[in-house]
Amino acid sequence: MPEFSAREMMIIAAARALRDEHNCFVGIGVPSVAANLARRLYNPSLMLIYESGCIGAKPTRLPLSIGDSELSDTSMTVVSVPEIFNYWLQGGKVDVGFLGAAQIDRYGNLNSTVIGDYDHPTVRLPGAGGAPDIAAFAKEVFVVLDQSVRSFVPELGFVTSVGHFAHGRTRHEWGLPGGGPTQVITNLGILVPNEGELELRWIHPSVELKDVRQHTGWDLKISPDLACTSEPEEWELKELRRLEER
Amino acid sequence: MARLIPLATAIAELVAPGSTVALEGFTHLIPFAAAAEIIRQRIGHLTLVRLTPDLVADWLIGVGLVDRLIFSWGGNPGVGSLHRFRDSVQQGWPRPLELEEHSHAGLVNRYVAGAAGLPFAVLRAYAGTSLNGIHPNIRSITCPFTGEELAAVPALNPDVGIVHAQQADRDGNVMIWGITGVQKEVILASKRSLVTVEEVVDEFGEHANSIRIPEFLIDAVAVVPGGARPSYASGYYDRDNDFYLAWDRIARDRDGFLAWIREHVERRADA
């Protein structure tokens, strides 16, 4: 059995989730690593879309930002930023949106704006960027983040991006056309929504249920169909490491 | 009609203290040289508009020239926090920073409405988020045709729009290729505009994904080779990713930041 880190497991699980998808709107960081890995390993025709307007990017190395020349030089087309948001995202052309966040709650709402009071924040985070639009319009959203009591919180101080239920209404009642988060992929397992609330559906190899509970800031529901994520294969790890080395 | 003038003259003429200045460039073609000139001329009390206030905003905020920031994402792309921005929001150093915060779609559409001469733009965003209600520039409107509740943001017409581009011709027409961001919308929406360029050419070549901006929409063109560094200019130079990584350390500390600005911005005259 090959050795692997929790981070590698998370990235490979996220990449596997893109196996049958047509296109994916990619943010930088883990989402970009996972999407590029998916294109290499399981889904060579996966179309990567970046908010800088790069559509059909085929980077040979991982970009540091969403607008590196590696993306625009390898794209099928590059459109303006108004076009990517108005026509592509809002226009409903995106299958999967891939998001990270600082915090998530049980309904899959995400905070990437502030920790603490908005006017006097304890931590000022970068803010929304394209996240609320991705969360609103992509047909489904995959969220990737490390699981801890600091990130998996009972209540968000600020809802940057809407999951399944926020501020007293469902996403349908808010008029959001996209499907919302369908998978939350962490270093410990994979959570999926059941009637709008996230429950643990898969647990990663050698992680125990009590670890997952301990790293969740609310009383986490466990799916009756809970199963174990299959271990990363040698060839998956090899390609991931090769990708991150470049 | 665009005039080809030196950068220092253009900044002195176009950027007044207290004005609303849009500095755009979506990762690509960020007008760093123009921002450096604003710092050398100490033009303050600015409202800075930028979708992604990154290092260029950290410079201006950190030296205390910005009173108000209209933005949608303030970070060091792929690296992490923007320390001068954070310090001004969390600690009020060197001065408190008033924020008007949007999502990318919201701010992009403020420019689009500004360019189109409309009072506001309509979009299907913000519903259910906490961004609704944090400032008066996100409101709702009922569609007169379907009755749907939608978001409205007011037009944005900056006093000055500043962008960097690859080339101008001798008449001051401008050509941009690669990631074109909101470059066109900013120039069309702004009351006055400045484009810094890598070079002046006799004739434009052909490039995939290019846009051209006619000279009559531009007030001044200044030739500043390398004017987008440490960001990049497709066809001229690459993004200095090492510098973006190094900035995390440089900007973390107030004194270190100020020393860096003195050494690398204030003591360096423009080309």
Q: What is the ipTM of this complex?
A: 0.95
A76 in contact with B, Cβ within 8 Å:
no
Question: Does any CB of chain B come closer than 8 Å to the CB of residue A158?
Answer: yes
Cis peptide before A205 (omega within 30 of 0): no
Q: What angle do CA B178, A63, B174 make, to 5 degrees?
A: 15
Whether the CB of A118 is below 8 Å from some CB of chain B: the reply is: yes
Give the distance from residue A241's alpha carbon to the nearest chain B alpha carbon, in angstroms. 18
Share of chain A above pLDDT 70, in %: 100
Average pLDDT, chain A: 95
The rounded distance, in Å, linking the Cα atoms of B63 and B55 is: 12
Distance between CA A207 and CA A147 in Å, rounded? 12
* Average pLDDT of the residues in A169-186: 97
Inter-chain touch A128–B180, beta carbons under 8 Å: no
Residues of chain B with C-beta less than 8 angstroms from the C-beta of A54:
179
Segment A193-205 shows an average pLDDT of 98
B9-15 contacts: CB < 8 A, separation 24 or more? B9/B220, B9/B222, B10/B194, B10/B219, B10/B220, B10/B222, B11/B37, B11/B38, B11/B41, B11/B43, B11/B194, B12/B41, B13/B220, B14/B160, B14/B192, B14/B194, B14/B219, B14/B220, B15/B41, B15/B43, B15/B46, B15/B160
Q: CB distance B78–A175 less than 8 Å?
A: no
What kind of fold does domain B3-102+157-262 have according to CATH? Glutaconate Coenzyme A-transferase (3.40.1080)
Q: Give the mean pLDDT of A205-216.
A: 97
* Contact call for B239 and A69, based on CB within 8 A: yes
What DSSP assignment string belongs to B84-96?
HHHHHHHH--SS-
Positive or negative, the Cα torsion across B96, B100, B105, B110?
negative
Structure tokens at A90: 């809002």
With contacts defined as CB-CB under 8 Å, which chain A residues touch B149?
175
Q: Which of B221, B27, B254, B6 has the alpha carbon at shortest distance from A66?
A: B27
Query: What ranges make up the beta strands (E) of chain A?
Result: 23-26, 47-50, 54-57, 77-78, 96-99, 103-104, 110-111, 114-116, 121-124, 140-144, 165-166, 169-170, 181-185, 189-194, 197-203, 221-228
A130 and chain B: CB distance < 8 Å anywhere? yes
Establish if A246 touches chain B: CB-CB under 8 angstroms.
no
Name the pairing type of β-strands A54-57 and A47-50: antiparallel
Whether residue A4 lies within 8 A of chain B, CB to CB, comes out as no
* Pairwise CB contact (< 8 Å): A166 & B128: yes
Tell me the mean pLDDT in the region A126-149: 97
Contacts of B244 in chain A (CB under 8 A): 64-65
3-state secondary structure of A111: strand
Question: Would you call B74 and A85 a contact, using CB atoms and an 8 Å cutoff?
Answer: no
What is the rounded distance in angstroms from the CA atom of residue B179 to the CA atom of residue B184?
Answer: 12
Angle of helix B83-91 relative to helix B254-261, nearest 10 degrees?
130
3-class state of residue A241 by DSSP = helix
Assign a CATH topology to domain A6-245: Glutaconate Coenzyme A-transferase (3.40.1080)
- Catalytic member of A51, A208, A234, A245: A51
**Considering only CA atoms, which of B165, B225, B230, B162 is closest in space to residue B15?**
B162
Omega prior to B94 cis, within 30 of 0: yes
- The answer for B129, left when phi > 0, alpha when psi is -120 to 50, beta otherwise, is beta
- pLDDT for residue A44: 96
A3 is catalytic: no
- How far apart, in whole angstroms, are the C-alpha atoms of residue B158 and residue B42? 19
| Residues in chain A closer than 8 A to B109 (CB atoms) | 82, 85-86
pTM: 0.96
pLDDT at site B269: 61
Answer whether A52 sits within 8 Å of B28, measured CB to CB: yes
Write the residue in A69, A158, A162 that is nearest to B234 by C-beta.
A69
Sorted by where each begins, the domain ranges of chain B are 3-102+157-262, 104-154
Instruction: Mutation target for A interface from B27, B54, B81: give the one with most A CBs within 10 A.
Output: B27
- Whether residues B52 and A130 touch (CB distance < 8 A) is answered with no
Check residue A108 and give left, alpha or beta (phi > 0: left; psi -120 to 50: alpha). left
- Nearest C-alpha of chain A: how many angstroms from B1? 25
Query: pLDDT tens-digit profile of B24-74?
Result: 999 999 999 999 999 999 999 999 999 999 999 999 999 999 999 999 999
Taking CA atoms, what residue in A is nearest to B79?
A64
Contact B155, B121 (CB under 8 A): yes
Collapsing DSSP to helix, strand or coil, A172 comes out as coil
| Location of structure tokens 């973006």 | B244
List, for residues A90-126, the tens digit of each pLDDT value. 999 999 999 999 999 999 999 999 999 999 999 999 9
Q: How far is B200 from chain A (nearest CA, A)?
A: 22
Contact A122, B89 (CB under 8 A): no
Rounded CA separation B184/B217 (Å): 10
Low-confidence ranges of chain B (pLDDT < 50): 270-271
Angle at which helices A30-41 and A6-16 cross, to 10° = 60
Q: Provide the phi-psi class of A56: left if phi over 0, else alpha when psi is between -120 and 50, else beta.
A: left
What does the pLDDT read at residue A63?
Answer: 84
| Beta-carbon-side half-sphere exposure of residue B179 (alpha carbons within 13 Å) | 33
Q: Do A72 and B28 touch (CB under 8 A)?
A: yes
